[in-house]
Amino acid sequence: MATRYFESEWEDKAYPIDTEANVNPVASAQTHPGEIVREDDVAARNPIFRKFGALFDNGVEARGIERVPEEERDGKHTIGLLLFWWSVNMVVSTVPIGLLAQAYYTLTFRSAVAAIVTFTALGAACTSFIATLGPKTGLRTMVITRYSVGFVGATIFSVLNILTQLGFSVVAVILGGQTLTNVSDGKLPLEASIVLVGFLALVLCFVGYNAMHYWERYAWILLFVFYCCMWGLAGKRGFEMGTQHAAQATGKEYAGDFLSFGGIVFSSASGWAPVAADFNCRLPSNIKAWKVFVLTWFGLMVPLLFVEILSAALMTVPDYAAAFEEGDAGGVLSEVFAPWKGGGKFILVVFAFSIISNCIPNTYSAALSFQTLLPVFEKVPRALWTVVVFVIYTVAAVAGREHFSEILSNFLAILGYWVAFFVIVVLEEHYIFRYWFHRQGDNASGPARGYDLSVYDKPRQLPIGTAGIFACCCGTGAAVVGMAQVWYIGPVGRLFGEYGGDLGFEMSAIVTAIVYPPLRYLEYRIFRR
């Protein structure tokens, strides 16, 4: 039996790969050789794929949602568990989140920081857990959900994920476009700026996995330097940390503001959970789960805390607060770098194009979710789906370009509702029904314990999904009861005063966590799937 070895960055030993079975021995119990789909097989799947043959031969990723076999995995992008997320979140579209604390929720700087730290830590933990499943299974995030909510439920999640990633992209390219337009003093129309920023992100997504990782490994460095410059410029203007104390609400109203802002912060970190496994499914299956979790968690925490706390501090500078009222987040950035004149405009251009780093995971994962919707969609290459995604979010961004802050606050708050029940269902399925109680011969061991990875695309061998779908519906109902939005405040949310307090994601998670286990156990006893 022939054996070769691969070395994993961050690992101090080599792992054997059984090239006859084409799997790692520790994962051989879950994988059947007849089910393996190699990259070359994907590239020659049908006439549509074969027309892209020259592109695939020159580095464009052919693989879509097909499971990545062990022989095509390595550890060269392990560092991406940290630096990938640094670049994705250390972008200009993270800045407005901190601005909202005082502009929309009357929180002082101290209260804003407390909310940012608490809810970012919780949201990052959700994303980090999902990230651990990528190397274990070799599957994309939305395909992994088939083991919790079945084929139909995964299709529903894919629709939600497509809408989520499109929403993130809309917010990102609007802000990037605003920044470019401000730099040009209006000479470059906002519509053109939006298209330009989005198109540059498309190029990397079109190429695929490796190109994105190489870009994200280094993109954060220059941005970090510029954010440090922002601290210095703001300090020179003068922070006035007490400016918001008189306006901050008290009692139940304060709790409501804190929870509502916290929901937005939670969503900014947990919003990556539905895509987290997409960017590490090519890592070896025996990489330690704790290492994946810790690196991903810090990859999210460091940039999100750094940028959001900075932007909250900017609102304590009176000149910047006035600039926000006149020109939104783009106006604040322009005011910060105004003293540097031409140099400041150059930095703003760099910030505008930093949006590329943020749009990359959105576009890439939305394309994969399109493939997950229906089997027929798999016949269209992933690269083509990225073009479709780009067209959709660009058109939407141009249409909503004048309502950036409203889009951001409403979109991020609602996003947390479905991410909460999605994470809970996958987590309980993994730790209760796969890890502890699943006892089906060979499927009870290995890094993907309890998962028969050969049936990821076989609806009749996956769970029925009724338990998961019903539990998520219950979570949705609970979110509606606890939500507090401009257009609707639920009965629980209304307990926090006139403007309410958003408990949507908390209610969604709690109810789903209670409902899912007994229903899933009953489903398993009946259908044995």
On whether the 77-402 domain is CATH 1.10.3720.10, my answer is: no
Residues with Cβ < 8 Å from 425, sequence gap 6 or more? 145, 148, 149, 468, 471, 472, 512, 516
Residue 377 per-residue DSSP state: G
Over residues 364-410, the pLDDT tens digits come to 999 999 999 988 999 999 999 999 999 998 888 888 766 655 655 56
Task: Provide the pLDDT confidence category of residue 33 given band limits of 50, 70 and 90.
Answer: very low
**Average pLDDT of 129-152?**
94
Model pLDDT, residue 46: 80
Model pLDDT, residue 439: 56
What are the two backbone dihedrals, phi and then psi, of residue 358, each rounded to the nearest 5 degrees? -80, -35
The CA distances from residue 203 to 97, 195, 226, 282, 381, in Å, are 27, 13, 25, 21, 15
The runs of H, that is alpha helices, within 104-145 are 109-137, 141-144
Instruction: Check: CB of residue 329 under 8 Å from CB of residue 174.
Output: no
The token duo for 397 is 């961004």
Residue 14 per-residue DSSP state: E
State CA 524 to chain mean position distance. Answer: 30
C-alpha span between 6 and 14 (Å, rounded): 6
Residue 69 per-residue DSSP state: P
Residue with token string 């190699």: 38
The token duo for 47 is 């006439």
Instruction: Check: CB of residue 426 under 8 Å from CB of residue 144.
Output: yes
C-alpha span between 399 and 435 (Å, rounded): 47
Model pLDDT, residue 183: 81
C-alpha span between 212 and 521 (Å, rounded): 40
Statement: residue 3 has pLDDT above 80: no
C-alpha span between 504 and 344 (Å, rounded): 40
Q: Name the packing angle between helices 109-137 and 95-103 (round to 10°).
A: 140
The amino acid present at 89, given as its one-letter code, is N
**Mean pLDDT score across all residues of the chain:** 84
C-alpha span between 485 and 256 (Å, rounded): 11
Residue with token string 């190397």: 135
The token duo for 388 is 């479709």
The token duo for 527 is 């259908």
Task: Provide the pLDDT confidence category of residue 422 given band limits of 50, 70 and 90.
Answer: very high
- Delimit the domains of the chain by residue range: 77-402
Residues with Cβ < 8 Å from 455, sequence gap 6 or more? 461, 462
Model pLDDT, residue 445: 52
Q: Which of 1-10, 76-85, 266-275, 304-313 has the lowest mean pLDDT?
A: 1-10
Q: Is 4 helix (H, G, I), strand (E, B) or coil?
A: strand
Statement: residue 20 has pLDDT above 50: no
Instruction: Check: CB of residue 381 under 8 Å from CB of residue 52.
Output: yes
Question: Helices then strands (H, E): number in the chain?
Answer: 19, 2
Q: Which residue has the higher pLDDT, 504 or 2?
A: 504
The runs of H, that is alpha helices, within 184-317 are 190-207, 209-218, 220-237, 251-270, 289-314
Return the closest-CA partner of residue 273 out of 354, 361, 374, 392: 361
Model pLDDT, residue 22: 39
**Average pLDDT of 33-55?**
78
**Average pLDDT of 126-148?**
95
Model pLDDT, residue 247: 67
Model pLDDT, residue 327: 65
